[in-house]
């Protein structure tokens, strides 16, 4: 499986899942444009790790929570590398709170970041792919929250469920252009965001209790993204790939 000669754009790639995807795409041979929010403290480290593999890495700081920010990012990415063959859309936005107390402004912010930005990025990149007749790959990072109504995550659950359906709809419309569109549903992944939400002690104690005996890693998700971005996945589109080490099945498992 090789991505030699491909140009990839990964949003939210400063750390966590986005970084894991950027590194795995580079490991498979792609050159990578990585995005993070303005004044990101993390993006430079990702650049160094990609370049250490001998791959080209272009950092572009832009706020993909806005249409203007997405337009700016896509324009600069195309100017930097010529064309975009692969998009991994991975904006991160989540706010946990009880439904009855949920701030409508937080709801709007999460929907904007976790759903609308995916629409904006994919539409802009898909237009470029169609114009240039690129048989491209679009991968949305969704979540196991999409089919599972976790408490205190009303906005995030709604955004990821919408993202899955949106991605399938986009896949339908881009079939005739031979652009593959797929979603990945990560389970519980060891990211800085999860450390902030749950704390190191809880992650270290609960990880070994999961069905696979560990919490997931950004590399696990990156490997899935690299596969979906490869020619080996040519016949896969409109599909949701769950990468969770059986996390969603944990309550179904019994000793036998």
Q: Quick one: tokens of 185?
A: 């549903």
Is 150 among the catalytic positions? no
Which bin fits 246, alpha (ψ -120 to 50), beta or left (φ > 0)?
left
Asked if 18 and 12 count as a contact pair (C-beta separation under 8 A), the reply is yes
Query: What letters, b where the CB count within 10 A reaches 16 and e where it falls short, cover 54-63?
Result: ebebbbbbbb
Asked if 39 and 12 count as a contact pair (C-beta separation under 8 A), the reply is no
Query: What letters, b where the CB count within 10 A reaches 16 and e where it falls short, cover 112-144?
Result: bbbbbbbbbbbebbbebbeeeebebbbbbbbbb
Q: What is the Cα–Cα distance from 10 to 91, expressed in whole angstroms?
A: 9
Q: What are phi and psi of 139, to 5 degrees?
A: -125, 120
Give whole-number Cα distances, 118 to 23, 40, 93, 98, 215, in Å.
21, 20, 12, 25, 26
Pick the catalytic residue: 102, 150, 156, 235?
156
The β-bridge relationship of strands 57-61 and 31-36 is parallel
Neighbour tally for 197: CB within 10 Å: 12
Instruction: Provide the annotated active-site residues.
Output: 156
């Amino acid at each position: 499986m090789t991505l030699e000669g491909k140009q990839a754009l990964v949003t939210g790639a400063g750390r966590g899942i986005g970084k894991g995807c950027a590194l795995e795409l580079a490991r498979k041979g792609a050159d990578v444009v990585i995005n993070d929010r303005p004044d990101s403290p993390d993006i430079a480290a990702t650049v160094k790790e990609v370049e250490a593999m001998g791959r080209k890495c272009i950092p572009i700081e832009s706020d993909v929570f806005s249409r203007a920010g997405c337009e700016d990012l896509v324009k600069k990415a195309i100017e930097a590398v010529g064309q975009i063959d692969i998009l991994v859309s991975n904006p991160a936005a989540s706010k946990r709170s009880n439904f009855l107390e949920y701030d409508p402004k937080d709801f709007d912010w999460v929907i904007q970041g976790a759903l609308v930005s995916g629409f904006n990025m994919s539409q802009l990149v898909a237009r470029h792919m169609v114009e240039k007749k690129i048989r491209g790959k679009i991968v949305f990072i969704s979540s196991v929250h999409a089919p599972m109504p976790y408490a205190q995550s009303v906005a995030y659950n709604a955004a990821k469920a919408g993202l899955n359906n949106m991605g399938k709809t986009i896949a339908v419309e881009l079939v005739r252009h031979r652009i593959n569109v797929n979603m990945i549903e990560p389970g519980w992944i060891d990211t800085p965001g999860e450390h902030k939400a749950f704390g190191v002690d809880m992650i270290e104690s609960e990880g070994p209790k999961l069905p696979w005996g560990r919490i997931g890693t950004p590399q696990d998700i990156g490997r899935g993204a690299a596969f979906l971005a490869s020619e080996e996945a040519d016949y896969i589109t409109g599909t949701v790939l769950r990468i969770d080490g059986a996390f969603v099945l944990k309550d179904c498992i019994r000793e036998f």
